[in-house]
Amino acid sequence: MDVTETTNSTNSTDSARALPHQHPLAGKIALVAGATRGAGRAMAVELGRAGATVYATGRTTRARTSEVGRTTETIEETAELITAAGQESESGGAGIAVPTDHLDPEQVEALVERIDREQGRLDLLVNDIWGGDVHVEWDKKMWEHDLDKGLRLMRLGIETHIVTSRYALPLLIKNPGGLVVEVTDGTDEYNQRYRKPFYYDLAKAAPLRMARALAEEIGEYGCTALCLTPGWLRSEAMLDTHFKVTEDNWQAGCEQNPHFAISETPTFVGRALVALASDPEVARWNGTSLSSGGLAKEYGFTDVDGSAPDAWRYITEVEQEGKTADVTGYR
Protein backbone atom coordinates (compact mmCIF):
# COMPACT_ATOMS: atom_id res chain seq x y z
CA MET A 1 0.00 0.00 0.00
CA ASP A 2 1.34 3.44 -0.80
CA VAL A 3 0.85 6.53 1.35
CA THR A 4 -2.43 7.42 -0.33
CA GLU A 5 -3.97 4.07 0.47
CA THR A 6 -2.66 4.20 4.03
CA THR A 7 -4.40 7.51 4.48
CA ASN A 8 -7.63 6.06 3.16
CA SER A 9 -7.60 3.08 5.53
CA THR A 10 -6.58 4.92 8.66
CA ASN A 11 -8.90 7.86 8.08
CA SER A 12 -12.03 5.87 7.25
CA THR A 13 -15.13 7.38 8.82
CA ASP A 14 -17.76 4.73 8.11
CA SER A 15 -18.26 3.99 11.80
CA ALA A 16 -15.38 5.83 13.42
CA ARG A 17 -16.65 9.42 13.18
CA ALA A 18 -17.69 10.44 16.65
CA LEU A 19 -20.12 13.06 17.86
CA PRO A 20 -18.56 15.82 20.00
CA HIS A 21 -19.72 14.11 23.22
CA GLN A 22 -18.29 10.73 22.18
CA HIS A 23 -14.58 11.32 22.56
CA PRO A 24 -13.58 8.68 25.11
CA LEU A 25 -9.88 9.51 25.12
CA ALA A 26 -10.08 13.31 25.21
CA GLY A 27 -7.32 14.62 27.45
CA LYS A 28 -5.42 11.33 27.49
CA ILE A 29 -1.71 11.23 26.68
CA ALA A 30 -0.36 8.31 24.66
CA LEU A 31 3.02 7.17 23.41
CA VAL A 32 2.91 4.87 20.40
CA ALA A 33 6.45 3.60 20.00
CA GLY A 34 6.88 2.36 16.46
CA ALA A 35 4.19 4.38 14.69
CA THR A 36 5.73 4.98 11.28
CA ARG A 37 3.53 2.53 9.37
CA GLY A 38 1.30 -0.52 9.64
CA ALA A 39 -0.45 -1.32 12.89
CA GLY A 40 1.51 1.31 14.82
CA ARG A 41 0.42 4.11 12.51
CA ALA A 42 -3.22 3.02 12.51
CA MET A 43 -3.33 2.64 16.29
CA ALA A 44 -1.88 6.13 16.70
CA VAL A 45 -4.39 7.59 14.25
CA GLU A 46 -7.37 5.94 15.92
CA LEU A 47 -6.21 7.15 19.33
CA GLY A 48 -6.12 10.67 17.92
CA ARG A 49 -9.58 10.21 16.43
CA ALA A 50 -10.82 9.31 19.92
CA GLY A 51 -9.29 12.47 21.39
CA ALA A 52 -5.84 11.50 22.67
CA THR A 53 -2.68 13.50 22.29
CA VAL A 54 -0.32 10.98 20.73
CA TYR A 55 3.46 11.04 20.72
CA ALA A 56 4.36 8.98 17.65
CA THR A 57 7.89 7.66 17.33
CA GLY A 58 9.92 5.89 14.69
CA ARG A 59 13.18 6.07 12.77
CA THR A 60 12.06 7.03 9.27
CA THR A 61 11.61 10.75 8.78
CA ARG A 62 11.38 13.00 5.75
CA ALA A 63 15.13 13.48 6.07
CA ARG A 64 16.26 9.98 6.97
CA THR A 65 15.24 6.40 6.13
CA SER A 66 15.65 3.50 8.54
CA GLU A 67 17.04 0.07 7.66
CA VAL A 68 13.49 -0.97 6.74
CA GLY A 69 14.18 0.91 3.53
CA ARG A 70 10.74 2.37 2.89
CA THR A 71 10.60 6.06 2.06
CA THR A 72 6.84 6.12 1.49
CA GLU A 73 5.90 6.43 5.17
CA THR A 74 7.41 8.86 7.67
CA ILE A 75 6.82 9.63 11.31
CA GLU A 76 5.96 13.23 10.47
CA GLU A 77 3.20 12.02 8.18
CA THR A 78 1.85 9.79 10.94
CA ALA A 79 1.58 12.80 13.26
CA GLU A 80 -0.24 14.74 10.55
CA LEU A 81 -2.71 11.87 10.07
CA ILE A 82 -3.34 11.74 13.83
CA THR A 83 -4.08 15.45 13.97
CA ALA A 84 -6.28 15.26 10.87
CA ALA A 85 -8.28 12.43 12.47
CA GLY A 86 -8.73 14.49 15.62
CA GLN A 87 -9.94 17.45 13.61
CA GLU A 88 -12.26 15.31 11.53
CA SER A 89 -13.91 13.80 14.60
CA GLU A 90 -13.78 17.13 16.45
CA SER A 91 -12.20 15.27 19.36
CA GLY A 92 -9.19 17.52 19.85
CA GLY A 93 -6.80 14.63 19.30
CA ALA A 94 -3.37 15.62 18.04
CA GLY A 95 -0.17 13.96 16.88
CA ILE A 96 3.38 14.87 17.84
CA ALA A 97 6.21 13.26 15.87
CA VAL A 98 9.37 12.48 17.81
CA PRO A 99 12.03 10.68 15.73
CA THR A 100 13.45 8.07 18.09
CA ASP A 101 15.73 5.07 17.90
CA HIS A 102 14.41 2.90 20.72
CA LEU A 103 17.71 1.04 20.95
CA ASP A 104 19.30 4.26 22.20
CA PRO A 105 18.50 4.70 25.91
CA GLU A 106 19.45 8.38 25.83
CA GLN A 107 16.96 9.09 23.04
CA VAL A 108 14.20 7.21 24.84
CA GLU A 109 14.95 8.93 28.14
CA ALA A 110 14.82 12.31 26.38
CA LEU A 111 11.51 11.35 24.76
CA VAL A 112 9.89 10.52 28.09
CA GLU A 113 11.33 13.63 29.73
CA ARG A 114 9.74 15.67 26.97
CA ILE A 115 6.35 14.03 27.52
CA ASP A 116 6.64 14.70 31.24
CA ARG A 117 7.68 18.29 30.66
CA GLU A 118 4.94 19.03 28.14
CA GLN A 119 2.07 16.94 29.55
CA GLY A 120 2.99 15.94 33.10
CA ARG A 121 1.56 12.45 32.64
CA LEU A 122 1.41 9.37 30.43
CA ASP A 123 -1.81 7.36 30.25
CA LEU A 124 -1.04 4.85 27.53
CA LEU A 125 2.18 3.20 26.33
CA VAL A 126 2.04 1.13 23.14
CA ASN A 127 5.19 -0.89 22.42
CA ASP A 128 4.83 -1.64 18.71
CA ILE A 129 8.52 -1.37 17.79
CA TRP A 130 9.74 -3.83 15.18
CA GLY A 131 11.26 -3.25 11.73
CA GLY A 132 12.95 -6.64 11.72
CA ASP A 133 11.36 -8.32 8.70
CA VAL A 134 14.21 -7.19 6.45
CA HIS A 135 16.60 -9.34 8.50
CA VAL A 136 14.55 -12.54 8.61
CA GLU A 137 15.82 -15.49 6.56
CA TRP A 138 12.48 -17.25 6.53
CA ASP A 139 13.50 -20.73 5.34
CA LYS A 140 16.76 -21.10 7.26
CA LYS A 141 17.39 -23.39 10.21
CA MET A 142 18.70 -21.72 13.36
CA TRP A 143 22.31 -22.68 12.60
CA GLU A 144 21.97 -21.64 8.97
CA HIS A 145 20.46 -18.22 9.65
CA ASP A 146 22.93 -15.34 9.54
CA LEU A 147 23.87 -14.77 13.19
CA ASP A 148 24.25 -11.00 12.95
CA LYS A 149 20.84 -10.69 11.34
CA GLY A 150 19.32 -12.98 13.96
CA LEU A 151 20.76 -11.00 16.84
CA ARG A 152 19.61 -7.79 15.19
CA LEU A 153 16.10 -9.23 15.21
CA MET A 154 16.41 -9.83 18.93
CA ARG A 155 17.45 -6.25 19.52
CA LEU A 156 14.71 -4.76 17.34
CA GLY A 157 11.90 -6.93 18.66
CA ILE A 158 12.85 -7.32 22.31
CA GLU A 159 15.49 -4.87 23.50
CA THR A 160 13.59 -1.88 22.09
CA HIS A 161 10.52 -2.79 24.12
CA ILE A 162 12.59 -3.21 27.27
CA VAL A 163 14.38 0.11 26.89
CA THR A 164 11.12 1.95 26.22
CA SER A 165 9.31 0.46 29.19
CA ARG A 166 12.29 1.14 31.44
CA TYR A 167 11.97 4.88 30.89
CA ALA A 168 8.23 5.26 30.25
CA LEU A 169 6.80 3.22 33.12
CA PRO A 170 7.90 5.52 35.97
CA LEU A 171 5.82 8.28 34.36
CA LEU A 172 2.87 6.03 33.52
CA ILE A 173 2.47 4.59 37.03
CA LYS A 174 2.24 8.04 38.61
CA ASN A 175 -1.50 7.91 37.96
CA PRO A 176 -3.87 4.95 38.39
CA GLY A 177 -5.51 3.72 35.22
CA GLY A 178 -2.40 3.64 33.05
CA LEU A 179 -2.32 1.05 30.27
CA VAL A 180 0.65 -0.70 28.67
CA VAL A 181 0.06 -2.54 25.40
CA GLU A 182 2.70 -4.87 24.05
CA VAL A 183 2.11 -5.56 20.36
CA THR A 184 3.16 -8.81 18.70
CA ASP A 185 2.23 -11.21 15.91
CA GLY A 186 0.02 -14.02 17.17
CA THR A 187 -1.97 -14.78 20.29
CA ASP A 188 -0.48 -16.68 23.19
CA GLU A 189 -2.54 -19.71 22.18
CA TYR A 190 -1.46 -19.59 18.53
CA ASN A 191 2.17 -18.93 19.35
CA GLN A 192 2.45 -22.20 21.21
CA ARG A 193 3.24 -23.31 17.66
CA TYR A 194 6.71 -22.77 16.32
CA ARG A 195 6.74 -19.49 14.37
CA LYS A 196 9.72 -20.22 12.18
CA PRO A 197 12.46 -19.23 11.87
CA PHE A 198 14.08 -19.44 15.30
CA TYR A 199 14.79 -15.73 15.76
CA TYR A 200 11.35 -14.63 14.61
CA ASP A 201 9.76 -17.10 17.01
CA LEU A 202 11.66 -15.62 19.94
CA ALA A 203 10.99 -12.03 18.90
CA LYS A 204 7.23 -12.60 18.72
CA ALA A 205 7.00 -14.72 21.87
CA ALA A 206 8.82 -12.15 24.02
CA PRO A 207 6.10 -9.43 24.05
CA LEU A 208 3.58 -11.98 25.29
CA ARG A 209 5.78 -12.73 28.26
CA MET A 210 6.63 -9.06 28.78
CA ALA A 211 2.95 -8.21 29.11
CA ARG A 212 2.48 -10.97 31.66
CA ALA A 213 5.49 -9.82 33.67
CA LEU A 214 4.62 -6.14 33.56
CA ALA A 215 1.09 -6.95 34.64
CA GLU A 216 2.54 -8.33 37.86
CA GLU A 217 4.74 -5.30 38.43
CA ILE A 218 2.41 -2.39 37.64
CA GLY A 219 -0.84 -3.85 38.94
CA GLU A 220 -0.22 -2.52 42.44
CA TYR A 221 -0.21 1.01 40.99
CA GLY A 222 -3.67 0.56 39.52
CA CYS A 223 -2.28 0.09 36.03
CA THR A 224 -2.76 -2.64 33.44
CA ALA A 225 -0.47 -4.42 30.96
CA LEU A 226 -1.61 -6.71 28.16
CA CYS A 227 -0.54 -8.01 24.76
CA LEU A 228 -2.41 -7.23 21.55
CA THR A 229 -2.04 -8.72 18.08
CA PRO A 230 -3.66 -7.86 14.77
CA GLY A 231 -4.69 -10.70 12.49
CA TRP A 232 -3.41 -11.02 8.92
CA LEU A 233 -2.53 -7.38 8.52
CA ARG A 234 -2.86 -5.60 5.20
CA SER A 235 0.12 -3.41 5.96
CA GLU A 236 1.75 -1.23 3.34
CA ALA A 237 4.43 -3.86 2.68
CA MET A 238 1.95 -6.73 2.63
CA LEU A 239 0.02 -4.94 -0.09
CA ASP A 240 2.57 -3.28 -2.30
CA THR A 241 5.53 -5.64 -1.84
CA HIS A 242 4.20 -9.11 -1.06
CA PHE A 243 0.95 -9.14 -3.03
CA LYS A 244 1.52 -6.13 -5.31
CA VAL A 245 -2.01 -4.84 -4.85
CA THR A 246 -3.57 -1.78 -3.25
CA GLU A 247 -6.17 -1.41 -0.53
CA ASP A 248 -8.74 -0.68 -3.22
CA ASN A 249 -8.18 -4.01 -5.00
CA TRP A 250 -6.72 -6.10 -2.19
CA GLN A 251 -9.04 -9.03 -2.97
CA ALA A 252 -6.90 -9.65 -6.06
CA GLY A 253 -4.29 -10.97 -3.65
CA CYS A 254 -6.55 -13.96 -3.00
CA GLU A 255 -5.59 -15.23 -6.44
CA GLN A 256 -2.08 -15.76 -5.04
CA ASN A 257 -3.21 -17.02 -1.63
CA PRO A 258 -6.94 -17.68 -1.13
CA HIS A 259 -6.54 -17.40 2.63
CA PHE A 260 -5.71 -13.72 2.21
CA ALA A 261 -9.49 -13.31 2.27
CA ILE A 262 -9.33 -13.24 6.08
CA SER A 263 -6.95 -10.25 6.13
CA GLU A 264 -7.77 -6.97 7.83
CA THR A 265 -6.84 -3.31 7.56
CA PRO A 266 -4.54 -1.78 10.18
CA THR A 267 -7.50 0.32 11.30
CA PHE A 268 -9.11 -2.80 12.78
CA VAL A 269 -6.43 -3.22 15.43
CA GLY A 270 -6.49 0.55 15.92
CA ARG A 271 -10.13 0.33 16.86
CA ALA A 272 -9.33 -2.59 19.15
CA LEU A 273 -6.82 -0.42 20.97
CA VAL A 274 -9.29 2.44 21.36
CA ALA A 275 -11.85 0.02 22.78
CA LEU A 276 -9.34 -1.19 25.35
CA ALA A 277 -8.09 2.27 26.27
CA SER A 278 -11.69 3.48 26.68
CA ASP A 279 -12.81 0.57 28.86
CA PRO A 280 -13.07 1.58 32.54
CA GLU A 281 -12.77 -2.12 33.39
CA VAL A 282 -9.69 -2.77 31.23
CA ALA A 283 -7.91 -4.24 34.28
CA ARG A 284 -9.88 -7.44 33.69
CA TRP A 285 -7.49 -8.08 30.79
CA ASN A 286 -4.35 -7.61 32.90
CA GLY A 287 -1.58 -9.95 31.75
CA THR A 288 -3.60 -11.50 28.95
CA SER A 289 -3.14 -11.98 25.21
CA LEU A 290 -5.79 -10.38 22.99
CA SER A 291 -6.48 -10.11 19.27
CA SER A 292 -8.32 -7.59 17.12
CA GLY A 293 -10.76 -10.26 15.98
CA GLY A 294 -11.45 -11.50 19.47
CA LEU A 295 -11.96 -8.02 20.86
CA ALA A 296 -14.37 -7.14 18.05
CA LYS A 297 -16.73 -9.73 19.51
CA GLU A 298 -16.31 -8.23 22.97
CA TYR A 299 -16.68 -4.56 22.10
CA GLY A 300 -18.70 -4.61 18.87
CA PHE A 301 -16.41 -2.59 16.56
CA THR A 302 -15.74 -3.56 12.95
CA ASP A 303 -13.13 -3.14 10.26
CA VAL A 304 -13.61 -0.34 7.73
CA ASP A 305 -15.78 -2.54 5.49
CA GLY A 306 -18.15 -3.42 8.32
CA SER A 307 -16.79 -6.94 8.76
CA ALA A 308 -15.04 -8.36 11.82
CA PRO A 309 -12.39 -10.85 10.66
CA ASP A 310 -11.36 -13.36 13.32
CA ALA A 311 -8.05 -14.21 11.67
CA TRP A 312 -6.35 -16.36 14.28
CA ARG A 313 -9.35 -18.63 14.70
CA TYR A 314 -9.59 -18.93 10.92
CA ILE A 315 -5.88 -19.65 10.51
CA THR A 316 -6.09 -22.33 13.19
CA GLU A 317 -9.30 -23.99 12.08
CA VAL A 318 -9.08 -23.58 8.29
CA GLU A 319 -5.63 -22.75 6.93
CA GLN A 320 -3.61 -24.87 9.35
CA GLU A 321 -5.99 -27.78 8.82
CA GLY A 322 -5.46 -27.65 5.06
CA LYS A 323 -9.08 -26.84 4.33
CA THR A 324 -10.32 -24.91 1.31
CA ALA A 325 -10.33 -21.17 1.89
CA ASP A 326 -13.75 -20.05 3.08
CA VAL A 327 -14.20 -17.12 5.45
CA THR A 328 -17.87 -17.82 6.09
CA GLY A 329 -18.43 -17.47 9.81
CA TYR A 330 -14.99 -15.92 10.33
CA ARG A 331 -15.50 -12.30 9.27
Instruction: State the pLDDT at residue 22.
Output: 79
- Secondary structure (3-state) at 126: strand
Rg (CA), the chain: 18
The pLDDT tens digits of the residues spanning 46-93 come to 999 999 999 999 999 999 999 999 999 999 999 999 999 999 999 999
Question: Mean per-residue pLDDT for 120-140?
Answer: 97
Q: Which residue type does 317 have?
A: E
Give the β-pairing of 179-183 and 289-291. Answer: unpaired
Answer yes or no: is pLDDT of 6 > 50. no
| The CA-based dihedral angle spanning residues 276, 188, 314, 195, taken in that order and rounded to the nearest 10 degrees | 130
CB 65 within 8 A of CB 158: no
Mean pLDDT for the chain overall: 94
CB 34 within 8 A of CB 131: yes
The pLDDT tens digits of the residues spanning 228-276 come to 999 999 999 999 999 999 999 999 999 999 999 999 999 999 999 999 9
Instruction: State the pLDDT at residue 157.
Output: 98
CA atoms within 13 A of residue 150's CA, in its CB half-sphere: 17
Instruction: State the pLDDT at residue 215.
Output: 98
Residues of the chain with pLDDT > 70, as a percent, come to 94
Answer yes or no: is pLDDT of 31 > 50. yes
The pLDDT tens digits of the residues spanning 269-314 come to 999 999 999 999 999 999 999 999 999 999 999 999 999 999 999 9
Q: Degrees (nearest 5) of the Cα angle 81, 270, 130?
A: 85
The pLDDT tens digits of the residues spanning 85-124 come to 999 999 999 999 999 999 999 999 999 999 999 999 999 9
Which candidate, 179, 174, 257, 237, places its Cα nearest to that of 211? 179
Instruction: State the pLDDT at residue 279.
Output: 98
CA distance 126 to 160: 12
CA distance 301 to 176: 26
Which candidate, 231, 237, 232, places its Cα nearest to that of 2? 237
CB 202 within 8 A of CB 158: yes
Report DSSP state, residue 199: H
Answer yes or no: is pLDDT of 11 > 60. no
Question: Mean per-residue pLDDT for 147-153?
Answer: 98
Which own/partner contact pairs does 138-143 have at CB distance under 8 Å and 24+ positions apart? 138/196, 138/197, 138/200, 139/197, 140/197, 141/197, 141/198, 142/197, 142/198, 142/199
CB 240 within 8 A of CB 1: yes
Name the band, by pLDDT with cuts 50, 70 and 90, for residue 2: very low
- Secondary structure (3-state) at 122: coil
CB 312 within 8 A of CB 272: no
CB 45 within 8 A of CB 11: yes
Instruction: State the pLDDT at residue 214.
Output: 98
Answer yes or no: is pLDDT of 125 > 70. yes
